[in-house]
Amino acid sequence: MSEKQTFSVSKIFLLGFGFFGVSVIWSLYNAYVPIFLKSTFGLRSSVIGLIMTIDNIFAILLLPFLGALSDGTRTRLGRRRPYILVGSTLALVFFVLIPYFNTVQILGLMMLTIILMNLSMALFRSPVVALMPDITPSKFRSQANGIINFMGGLGALLVFFGGKLLYDRRVSLPFLVGGLVMFAASMLVVIFVKEKLPDSDKDSSTGKVSFKASTRELLGNLKDVFVGEKSLFFILLAILFWFIGFNSIETFFTSYAKYHLGMKESTGALILGFFSVTFMVTSIASGFLGSRIGRNRTIRVGLVILIVILLGSLFVRQFLPLALVFMVGGFGWALVNVNSLPMVVDMTTLAKVGGYTGLYYFFSQAGNIIAPPLTGVLIDAFGYASLMIFSSVMFFLAFFIMSFVKRGEVQRES
């Protein structure tokens, strides 16, 4: 059977519902939780930034191991789907409790709920993303990731446009609706997406989770980063920097809109919605472009676009022009984000895809850990204009580092 025959667009769209649900949760979380922490509890931006790294701390500690663990898991539901089932169920429960504990204004309970929700989301993030290369040949992974990111953009779009209407009506409504949407989307993946095992594992027994083997794989994957040819190291370093830049904007833009531009926080979230519209619309095309002209080149074009629009936004203070600028930025982010994971997983074999997906998340979430507290400190010291300048510098560093990446393009058929 040829690679083309094994690529199913409909199956990738179904898998995209998992990414759709995850995107709904994080878009709501990043848009409104910083506002809760500042307006209800009066916390400084630097403290809020530190709290907003909790999900990233769990990610950097757990995702590389969970990716490797799912590589070695053998159950009737497969390698990845048990983690999706358990994690999404727990995440639903804790996510809907966040606005309740914001209302009762007990910071300890608020923090406990945030921590448990983030832990639940960490359980299934690597496994759900690893399903894409599991079921997709190398030559179609950029296109498949484009479809998945299209679905993720659709989830963010639902939040930034529909979420505003729900939030303005009652603060708890977007959390309830968003949690239920995430859970339903995750169940579609569990029920309908069948996994593909590596050929060497076809006769393996089911019903086991190998912690020892997963730990060995994790250590081997980390060794791959630093030993031998350095393309894997450089792309992971670039991912670190561009996620510092992106997460800074994602975490603090609604605050930038409210406290620097004088807009409502829901209006700031709406501007991010325009960013998500373009990201969603151009994600599939970005995957095809990466396969056609090269993933590395496509990523670097996207980084240039992001640098230009962020610096340009410093001179824009009205809603409509700023929304248009961010629409262009959504296209740049699609070029970067759609093609990066396929580059990483095409540096390994199918048997280790989960582990390499974990490496991708290790470095991306490390960026997300660094970004909020560092950006919060800069904002406290220099004002909100420093947000755009700092993110532009991070994207420039990522652009430079990508020139050292020599692998990760489509693996051609022999």
**DSSP classification of residue 207:** S
Of 15-24, 69-78, 100-109, 264-273, which range is least confident?
69-78
Angstrom distance (rounded) from CA 221 to CA 346: 14
Instruction: Judge whether residue 143 has pLDDT over 80.
Output: yes
Q: What is the mean pLDDT of residues 96-113?
A: 91
Please state which of the ranges 12-21, 126-135, 169-178, 282-291 shows the lowest mean pLDDT: 126-135
pTM above 0.85, yes or no: no
Give the pLDDT confidence score for residue 6 in this predicted structure: 60
Confidence of residue 394 (pLDDT cuts 50, 70, 90): very high
Distance CA 259, CA 263 (A): 8
Whether 354 contacts 213, CB under 8 Å: no
CA dist 382 and 256 (Å) reads 13
Tokens at 26, concatenated: 């994080």
Is the pLDDT score of 407 beyond 50? yes
**Which string of DSSP letters, residue by residue, matches 296-320?**
HHHHHHHHHHHHHHHHHHTT--SHH
Q: What is the pLDDT of residues 238-293, one digit of tens each?
A: 999 999 999 899 888 888 888 888 888 778 878 888 887 888 889 889 988 998 89
For 36-75, write each residue's pLDDT tens digit.
Answer: 988 888 888 778 878 887 776 777 777 667 776 777 777 7
Phi, psi of 270 (to 5 degrees): -65, -40
Spatial separation of the C-alpha atoms in residues 401 and 389, rounded to whole Å: 19
Amino acid at 39: S
Q: What is the pLDDT of residue 212?
A: 56
Closest CA to 351 of 122, 73, 15: 73
Length of the chain (residues): 414
Run of H or E residues at 208: strand 208-209
Taking residue 410's Cβ as centre, other Cβ atoms within 10 Å add up to 19
**Which domains, and CATH codes, for the chain?**
4-193+225-404 (1.20.1250.20)
Q: What average pLDDT does the structure give for the chain?
A: 83
What is the rounded CA–CA span in Å between residue 149 and residue 340?
A: 12
Give the residue among 401, 412, 352, 370 at the shortest CA–CA distance from 72. Answer: 352
